[in-house]
Amino acid sequence: MQAYGTDRLRTHEDGTIVLSSRFAKPGWQARASKSTTTAEHPGTAVLWDDSCWEVIAVEVLEQGVRYTLAPWSASHTMRFTDQYDEASEAHRLEEQRRLRLREKGRLAANLLAFITGHLPAGVQDHLASETGINPPRLTQISTIPPFVAFAAIVLTIVGAKIEERPSPVPLWLVIVLFYMFVDSLVRFLSAMALHRPIGSFPGLIGYALFYALSPLRSQLPPPFKPPAGSSIKMAPLSEEENMESALVLREPLFTLLDVRDQERVAQRYGIDYHKTAPTLALIVLVFSLLGVVSSLRSISVAHPSSAVSLVVAAFLAAEQIWRLSRFPHAPAPSVLRFVVRWMVRRYVD
């Protein structure tokens, strides 16, 4: 008998053998001894050259796994079998090599998520299939640097305005960072809502150049390959389904209308204001309070617009508090109905 690959073999006087391996062999299970509640179950039957051996013990070491095998007993029934020869061991070593490469690729992709998250969606899906990463998470992480850069430049410009000195940030840089901020915001929200990766335009251009110049082009996914599942043809929605989708999008706006309009919408489409009215009122309340705080900090005689903003924000905040107290009993209109009604007039008139 001989060991294959990188394994080492040692024979004991009692007829058992010990096979030391650098890696665990999938499927090799040790014998389960008999207990007061369970019967004895033989270990994996290993077909080794012209004989059959049973795995009776498996010992995990710091630098590998040690398998103890004994000649197969004819009284046992083979439950699990495996082959041990040069070809099967070479296959196991190749699988281990692929696993190591896959793990290294996964770690590299995650560590470089600020860059890999900008790659085209099809490329990110390819990385997911090769390394097991989470593509939407890569996209979300890649949006962090543009957010931080845009916040830093806004603070720099505001600081310069407060100190009444020229802004040190050139206009072209402001435009570039603003574009990156908007692009990152759209990508972040899309990845979070759709659970799909989405690349950026700079990432597409950079990967396209790398793909065009790479000598390993045949092993790389094309830059303009659509992501998996994006080419599925969708049947057109019926008129009723289109109406239902439009109502779902506009349902929060209906809660701002006067009571008569809300009752008319409820009778026509079965919309219940309890579902979305409190949430929308809380959102308006939070932003109104933020407006009050901001106006108080910037109010001055020289800028009466701050006083106007303070009055408007305070009124909206008070109105939302009143509306929230009314919701358990009846719908409550908002002063914003004069702005909103023209947007939903086709569903109300």
Give the DSSP letter string of 302-339: S-HHHHHHHHHHHHHHHHHHHHHHHTTTS----TTHHH
Q: Is pLDDT at 227 greater than 80 in this prediction?
A: no
The pLDDT tens digits of the residues spanning 120-137 come to 888 888 777 777 778 888
Evaluate if residue 23 carries a pLDDT over 90.
no
Q: In this structure, are strands 64-71 and 17-21 parallel, antiparallel, or unpaired?
A: antiparallel
* Tens digits of residue pLDDT in 314-349: 999 999 899 999 998 888 999 988 888 888 888 887
pLDDT of residue 24: 84
Largest CA distance in the chain: 101
pLDDT-derived band at 293 (thresholds 50, 70, 90) equals confident
Q: Tokens 């008569």 appear where?
A: 260
CA distance 260 to 246: 21
Residue 28 has a pLDDT of: 87
Average pLDDT, the chain: 84
Q: Return the pLDDT at 131.
A: 75
Position 107 confidence tier, pLDDT thresholds 50, 70, 90: confident
Kind and range of the H or E run holding 23: none
Nearest CA to 103 out of 133, 138, 126, 136 is that of 133
Domain ranges of the chain: 8-85, 112-219, 240-348
